Amino acid sequence: MLKIKDKEFIPFLTEEEIKRRVQDLGRQISKDYQGKNPLVLGVLNGVFMFFSDLMKETDISLEVSFVKVASYESTGSTGKVNDLIGLVEDIAGRHIIIIEDIVDTGLSMSHLLKLVSSKSPKSIAIVSLLLKPEALEQPIEVDYVGFEIPNKFVVGYGLDYDGEGRNLKEIYQLK
Ligand code: 5GP
Ligand code: MG
Ligand code: MG
């Protein structure tokens, strides 16, 4: 049992289970992107631990960069505006691999996909360590999924509860 602030969590995925799955994903991505020199885009903050471990399991030429998506209300008639922060590379004509920690409703990924697609990459693939199929509200296709999980809040291995828990090497589920 784990307590963070007011919530109790139970063990869900062990360090070993995560490690084995991350190895599989790294091998698969290496095989699929051999000779393509992809630009791998990590979506901060939650992805930091998965990203690092996954990159160590790849053995091909690739480039690494990180982005954040900022969301704010516009004063005009457009409503919500999403901004891509941190992308300095010219991605036109490049193979892009987006790495996320979790796809829940898919709304964040759907915004990110729009922003990345508008810069004319050659291809875009999505990798997510976790996917909650029951929570998905957007028609997002995740190309590489670590684990399909139930629609329950999880924490650890990069994922936070109210800012805490990102440093845990296992993943816990809300009790
Ligand atoms: P979306 O609903 O747009 O797919 O996910 C939005 C964001 O909510 C994710 O990037 C992640 O930061 C957060 N999120 C969704 N589900 C969980 C969860 O189970 N645990 C944690 N810690 N964050 C989550
Ligand atoms: Mg994330
Ligand atoms: Mg969070």
pTM for this structure?
Answer: 0.96
Q: What's the confidence (pLDDT) of residue 10?
A: 98
Cα 175 from Cα 7, distance rounded (Å): 8
45 C-alpha vs ligand 3 centroid, how far in Å? 8
> What is the 8-class DSSP label of residue 118?
T
> Residue of the nearest CA to atom 16 in ligand 1?
104
| 136 SS3 class | coil
Ligand 1 centroid–CA 78 distance in Å is 25
Specify the amino acid at residue 168: L
Label residue 77 by pLDDT band (50, 70, 90).
low
How many angstroms is it from 116 CA to the middle of ligand 2? 16
Q: Considering the domain boundaries, does residue 51 fall inside one?
A: yes
pLDDT value for 55 = 98
- Helix ranges restricted to H, 3-128: 15-33, 48-56, 107-117
Whether residue 164 is contained in a domain is answered as no
User: Which residue has the CA at smallest separation from atom 8 of ligand 1?
Assistant: 104
Report the distance separating Cα 42 and Cα 65, nearest Å.
6
Asked whether residue 159 is assigned to any structural domain, the reply reads no
Residue 14 in tokens: 């062990």
Rounded CA separation 161/163 (Å): 5
pLDDT-based confidence at residue 70 (cuts at 50, 70, 90): confident
pLDDT, residue 71, reads 82
Active-site annotation, residues: 104
Q: Nearest Cα to 50, choosing from 21, 85, 29, 30?
A: 21
Domain membership of residue 161 (yes or no) is no
Predicted ipTM of the assembly: 0.98
> Is residue 173 left, alpha or beta, with left meaning phi > 0 and alpha meaning psi from -120 to 50?
beta
Residue 175 lies in a domain: no
Eight-state DSSP code of residue 74: -
Amino acid identity for residue 148 in this structure: E
Residue 174 lies in a domain: no
The mean pLDDT value of the chain amounts to: 95
- Give the model confidence (pLDDT) of 141-161 as tens digits: 999 999 999 999 999 999 999
**Confidence category of residue 79, pLDDT binned at 50, 70, 90:** confident
Please write the tens of the pLDDT for every residue from 19-47.
Answer: 999 999 999 999 999 999 999 999 999 99
What's the 103 CA to ligand 1 centre distance in angstroms? 6
Of 30-39, 77-86, 127-136, the range with the lowest mean pLDDT is 77-86
Q: Specify which residues 8 forms β-bridges with.
A: 3
Q: Residue 78's pLDDT is what?
A: 64
Which CATH number does the domain housing residue 31 bear? Answer: 3.40.50.2020
**Is 165 among the domain residues?**
no
Total domain count, the chain: 1
> Rounded CA gap, 8 and 46, in Å?
20
Residues 154, 104: Cα–Cα separation, whole Å = 11
Task: Output the residue whose Cα is nearest ligand 1's atom 20.
Answer: 154
What is the arithmetic mean of pLDDT over 123-136? 98
Q: Which domain holds residue 21?
A: 15-152
pLDDT of 162 reads: 96
Report the residue among 142, 159, 166 best suited for mutation to probe ligand 1: largest number of ligand atoms under 8 A from its CB. 159
Residue type (1 letter), 162: D
Q: How confident is the model at residue 76 (pLDDT cuts 50, 70, 90)?
A: low
| Domain membership flag for residue 87 | yes
Mutate to test the pocket of ligand 1, among 98, 100, 104 (most ligand atoms within 8 A of CB): 104
